[in-house]
C-alpha cells in the first residue's frame, strides 16, 4: 500500500471544489496497516484532486483516484468524489475507469476497503507484470461492498477532518509594488501562484532533476519555519512548494532562495523537465534520462521569456525505460526508451502524450553513459518545420560499437 497523494495546491487552489487533503489523510490512516491491505500482489496507489477540470492530482493514472464533487441532494449540498479505478502507466498503460459519478464522502472508506479486498483476493500473485488492479473488473467491487459488515472506523476517521487544516504564520498582505532584486519579476511570474485566500501565495522551489543537497534542505527547512511554519509539499514535477506565504514576504523569500541557489525560475514551464533516474542509478534503466533532461533544461532555459506562451506551458517528461517512472504518458511532449538500441521514442501533445510525433522529429540515438552534447543536433526552433538530421543506422551501429554496447536489434 503506497502513501496516499493529493494535489500540492489542495486547500489553497482557486478552482478546487473543496480541500481533499483531510480525506486523503483519513484514507491513508484507515488503509495503511489494515488487514485487508496486507496481501496485495504488488503496489496499490491512490490519489485525489480537488479540481474536476484540472485533475492535477493525476487521478486517472492511479489504481484508485478521487475527484472532489459537490452534489445537491434533497436541497442540501453534499461532498463526495467522482471515483476512478484501475489506472496505471508502465509497459501496459491503462486509463482509469469511471467507477461512480458520485460517492458520498461517508462512503469513501468502505468503498476503498472493498476495492482493496477485491485486489487482495483476486489480484495476480505469481506474474508481477500482471499484478495490478487495472487488470481486474471494477464491477466486482460493488459485489464486495454489499457484503462488507459495518465498521465504525469508516466514519471515525472522518470525524476530525479539520484537525489537519494549515494555519498561516503571518497575516496576508498584498505585495503592492514593493521593491525587489533583479530576477524577482521573472521568478514571480513562473513560480508564484496566488491563493484563493486574500494576501497569500504559493511559492514553488524548482529542483533541477529533483536534486537538492542536505545543506540546502536544512536551510530551506529553516526558511520554511520563518515564512510558512513547517509544512512543505512535494510535486510530481519533482519540485517543492511553500504555501501560505504572505505576498509582502515574497521578495525576501526570493532573496533567501537566491543565497541557497534555489531561486531558479520556470516552474511549470517547458523548461521544467521531469525525468526518472535512468541509467544513473536504476538497474532497469536503458538510457540516461537525466542526461537528456539536463541538456533539454539548459537549451530551453536559454530561450527564457522568448517562447510563445502556448509552447512555454507544455510539459516534458522523460523515462529511461518502458516502465514510465518519468510519467511520459501523462506529458505534452515525452521521451521514452524501449529497446537496447538506446534511442528515445518521441511523443507529443495530443492524447496525453500518446500520439507519435511527425517523422521530422525522429528517434535520436543516445548512448547511456555519454554526454548529451555528443548526441545529434536538434531543431533550433521548437517547431517540426525545422527537422533534425535523421542519424543513419550505420552511424548508430558505429556509436554503439565504440562504446562496446552492441545493439542486437539493428
- 3-state SS, residue 126: coil
The cell 502507466 sits on which residue? Answer: 89
Strand pairing report for 355-356 and 192-194? unpaired
Choosing among 3.40.50, 1.10.10, 1.20.1270, 3.30.413, the CATH entry for 274-397 is 3.30.413
Residue-by-residue DSSP string for 225-288: HHHBTB-EEE-TTS-EEEEEEEGGGHHHHHHHHHHHT-----TTSTTS-EE--GGGT-TT--S-
Residue-by-residue DSSP string for 291-313: HHHHHHHHHHHTTTTTS-HHHHT
pLDDT in tens, 4-25: 999 999 999 999 999 999 999 9
Give the confidence band of 193 by pLDDT, cuts at 50, 70, 90: very high
CATH number of the domain located at residue range(s) 184-260 in this protein: 3.30.70.3340
Q: Assess contact for 201 and 187: CB atoms under 8 A.
A: no
Closest by CA position to 178, among listed 226, 244, 247, 258: 247
The CATH class that applies to domain 5-164 reads alpha beta
Would 5-164 and 184-260 be classified into the same CATH topology? no
What sign has the CA pseudo-torsion 121, 126, 132, 134? negative
CB atoms within 10 A of CB 185: 11
pLDDT in tens, 229-278: 888 999 988 999 999 999 999 999 999 999 999 999 999 888 899 888 88
| Residue spans per domain, the chain | 5-164, 184-260, 274-397
Q: How many C-alpha atoms does 237 have within 13 Å on its Cβ side?
A: 24
Q: Assess contact for 73 and 80: CB atoms under 8 A.
A: no
93 vs 322: CA distance, rounded Å: 10
Give the confidence band of 385 by pLDDT, cuts at 50, 70, 90: very low
Strands (E) across 50-96 are located at 64-73, 76-85
pLDDT in tens, 321-360: 877 787 776 666 655 555 555 555 555 443 444 344 444 4
User: b/e for 301-332, b at 16 or more Cβ within 10 A?
Assistant: beeeeebeeebbebbbbbbbbbbbbbbbbbbb
Sequence-distant (6+) residues with CB within 8 A of 316 are 270, 273, 274, 293, 296, 331, 332, 333, 334, 335
Least confident piece of the model among 53-62, 120-129, 220-229, 275-284: 120-129
Closest by CA position to 119, among listed 185, 46, 169: 46
Amino acid at each position: 500500500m503506497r502513501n496516499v497523494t493529493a494535489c500540492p495546491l489542495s486547500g489553497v487552489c482557486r478552482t478546487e471544489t473543496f480541500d481533499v487533503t483531510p480525506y486523503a489523510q483519513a484514507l491513508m490512516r484507515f488503509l495503511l496497516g489494515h488487514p485487508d491491505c496486507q496481501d496485495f500482489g504488488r503496489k496499490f496507489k491512490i490519489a485525489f484532486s480537488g479540481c474536476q477540470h484540472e485533475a492535477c492530482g493525476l487521478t486517472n493514472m492511479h489504481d484508485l483516484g478521487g475527484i472532489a464533487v459537490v452534489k445537491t441532494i434533497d436541497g442540501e449540498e453534499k461532498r463526495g468524489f467522482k471515483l476512478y479505478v484501475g489506472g496505471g502507466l508502465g509497459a501496459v498503460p491503462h486509463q482509469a475507469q469511471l467507477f461512480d459519478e458520485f460517492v458520498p464522502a461517508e462512503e469513501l472508506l468502505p468503498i476503498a476497503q472493498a476495492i482493496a479486498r477485491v485486489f487482495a483476493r483476486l489480484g495476480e500473485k505469481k506474474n508481477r507484470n500482471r499484478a495490478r488492479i487495472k487488470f481486474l473488473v471494477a464491477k466486482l467491487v460493488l459485489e464486495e461492498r454489499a457484503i462488507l459488515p459495518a465498521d465504525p472506523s469508516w466514519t471515525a476517521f472522518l470525524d476530525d477532518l479539520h484537525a489537519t487544516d494549515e494555519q498561516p504564520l503571518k497575516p496576508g498582505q498584498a505585495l503592492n509594488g514593493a521593491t525587489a532584486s533583479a530576477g524577482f519579476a521573472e521568478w514571480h511570474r513562473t513560480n508564484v501562484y496566488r491563493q484563493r485566500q486574500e494576501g497569500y501565495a504559493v511559492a514553488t522551489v524548482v529542483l533541477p532533476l529533483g536534486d537538492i543537497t542536505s545543506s540546502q534542505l536544512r536551510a530551506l527547512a529553516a526558511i520554511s519555519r520563518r515564512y510558512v511554519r513547517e509544512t512543505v509539499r512535494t510535486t510530481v514535477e519533482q519540485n517543492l512548494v511553500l504555501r501560505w506565504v504572505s505576498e509582502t514576504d515574497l521578495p525576501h523569500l526570493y532573496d533567501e532562495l537566491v543565497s541557497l541557489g534555489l531561486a531558479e525560475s520556470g516552474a511549470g514551464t517547458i523548461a521544467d523537465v521531469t525525468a526518472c533516474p535512468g541509467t544513473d542509478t536504476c538497474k532497469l534503466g536503458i538510457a540516461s534520462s537525466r542526461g537528456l533532461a539536463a541538456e533539454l533544461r539548459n537549451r530551453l532555459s536559454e530561450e527564457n521569456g522568448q517562447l510563445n506562451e502556448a509552447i512555454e506551458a507544455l510539459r516534458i517528461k522523460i523515462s529511461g525505460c518502458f516502465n514510465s517512472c518519468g510519467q511520459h504518458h501523462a506529458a505534452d511532449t515525452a521521451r521514452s526508451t524501449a529497446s537496447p538500441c538506446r534511442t528515445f521514442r518521441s511523443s507529443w501533445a495530443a492524447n496525453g502524450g500518446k500520439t507519435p510525433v511527425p517523422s521530422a522529429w525522429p528517434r535520436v540515438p543516445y548512448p547511456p553513459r555519454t554526454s548529451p552534447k555528443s548526441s545529434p543536433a536538434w531543431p533550433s526552433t521548437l517547431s517540426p518545420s525545422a527537422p533534425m538530421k535523421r542519424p543513419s543506422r550505420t552511424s548508430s551501429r558505429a556509436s554503439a560499437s565504440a562504446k562496446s554496447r552492441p545493439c542486437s536489434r539493428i
